[in-house]
Amino acid sequence: MFVSRKCLPRRTVLRGIGTSLALPLLDAMVPALTASAATAASPNRLRRLGYVYMPMGCDITRWKLAGDSLDELSPTLEPLAPVKDHVAVVSGMELRNAYPGTHATSNAAFLSAATAKRTESTDYYLGTTVDQIAARYMGQQTQLPSLEMAMDMMAMVGQCDNGYACVYQNNLSWSSPTTPLPAEAHPRVIFETLFGEGGSPEQRRSALRRRQSLLDAVSDELSRLNRQLGPADRQKVDGYLDSVREVERRIQRAEAQIHENPLPDLDRPVGVPADYDEHAKLMFDLQVLALQGDVTRVITFQLARETSNRTYPQIGVSEPHHPLTHHGNDPEKIAKVAKINRYHVSLFAYFLKRLQETPEGDGSLLDHSLYMYGSGMGNPNVHDHENLPILVAGGAAGNMRGGRHIRFERPTPLANLHVTLLNKVGVHLDSFADSSGQVDELFDPLSI
């Protein structure tokens, strides 16, 4: 049966002065021509790929699982309980090319599976990372090919490993062996990258005083759009815009708190929450908006930098993270490392829950995403790169088999997982770095 209604382009955006706002996938964007055409345009064909990096390995004794399912989660992985059906833990992965065992090579090899050239100068050399291979294909139809995010401002990151240029620790993403892509930690800059603003920092601050909100700038177009939408689509748009306004409000609150602080605060840029928990959740919420609006389909996020001396008093850990990881088998120090590991996992669980609660098409944003979470280091006390803490979360358009623990008895290249995830989001690759196969157990055998 043929239907004559027109459809909105998937790339429809609302435009205002100095800004644009992408929209989530709407029913009105699905071509209403024939039943087969509607199936072909199903949102199940939309797939996203993301990576979240946890620094300095973990206490594997509190991470590892005993069985082949996630029915009984380990202490570190317990925060994943609400979303465990969308999670698979993969044990036995290694990064052979990350040796001779350093913090710099842990970070650098995580997405490249390549050996970092030993140099402290500008002649650094690594390899193209998997996220950028994905971006070349998945980013052709989006505003941003990829989005690189971090929690540490580059001006404040501190020391680097002896013998290795700082770019190896500071950057997860490399668009070529000689081109690291800087990650952004400032929520305001990311927000404006996604939705527009432009200009120097002073011009942006001036613009903030001139405008009330991103949504106010596109209100006229929004009114016109709503007249073209059905009730279900209007509800989707309203929910998405509420999320945008909430993120704006939180950024502006952070800015206000800093402006009202009577003490000098010259090191922290305007708009970065002082609280790590608030900052991290804001960064994850920005990722939800970026994926929901289809501004990008490829994201990397560094929860903290290797050798980070960040403390976590909110969970009872007042000692710096990095020295704790050199625990010398001290049970008290190991327990504190495990607390930090669990806390980082809880933040990722928060993000997965947000994706699960965001409807899209016949499922959720989580159903149409794939995220890999983990570290390039195994046991931080000895700086090894085997038995890595790795998990995969999402749905891959319904094809991922969650709630499972996949175990490799022998060390298996992490590159195998990279090849697998690329293929499952439609970026077909036979091999990558030192890969020796794929992790087929992750997915339905009939999946694409």
Q: Model confidence over 416-443: pLDDT tens digits?
A: 999 999 999 999 999 999 999 999 899 8
9 in the same domain as 89: no
Residue 14 has pLDDT above 60, yes or no: no
Could you tell me if residue 362 is inside a domain? yes
More confident residue, 85 or 28: 85
Could you tell me if residue 281 is inside a domain? no
Which of residues 256, 271, 286 is at a domain's end? 271
415 in the same domain as 309: yes
384 in the same domain as 348: yes
414 in the same domain as 304: yes
179 in the same domain as 308: yes
More confident residue, 120 or 350: 350
Residue 29 has pLDDT above 70, yes or no: no
pLDDT reported for residue 361: 80
Query: Residue 383 belongs to a domain with what CATH number?
Result: 3.40.720
154 in the same domain as 67: yes
pLDDT reported for residue 249: 67
* Top-confidence range, 195-209, 253-267, 268-282: 268-282
Give how many domains the chain has, as a whole number: 2
316 in the same domain as 393: yes
Please give the residue range of the domain that contains residue 15: 1-41+186-271
429 in the same domain as 311: yes
34 in the same domain as 133: no
Q: 3-state SS string over the chain?
A: CCCCCCCCCCCCEEEECCEEEECCCCHHHCCCCCHHHHHHCCHHHCCEEEEEECCCCCCHHHHCCCCCECCCCCCCCHHHHHHHHHEEEEEEEECHHHCCCCHHHHHHHHHHCCCCCCCCCCCCCCCCCHHHHHHHHHHHHCCCCCEEEECCCHHHCCCCCCCCCCHHHHCCEEEECCEEECCECCHHHHHHHHHCCCCCHHHHHHHHHHCCCHHHHCHHHHHHHHCCCCHHHHHHHHHHHHHHHHHHHHHHHHHHHHHHCCCCCCCCCCCCCCCHHHHHHHHHHHHHHHHHCCCCCEEEEECCCCCCCCCEHHHCECCCHHHHHCCCCCHHHHHHHHHHHHHHHHHHHHHHHHHHCCEECCEECCCCEEEEEECCCCCCCCCCCCCCCEEEEECCCCCECCCEEEEEEEEEEHHHHHHHHHHHCCCCCCCCCCCCCCCHHHECCCCC
Residue 165 has pLDDT above 70, yes or no: yes
Mean pLDDT score, 81-94: 96
Could you tell me if residue 284 is inside a domain? no
Could you tell me if residue 288 is inside a domain? no
Q: What is the pTM (predicted TM-score) of this model?
A: 0.80
418 in the same domain as 320: yes
Residue 204 has pLDDT above 90, yes or no: no
Mean pLDDT score, 281-289: 93
414 in the same domain as 312: yes
pLDDT reported for residue 32: 44
366 in the same domain as 252: no
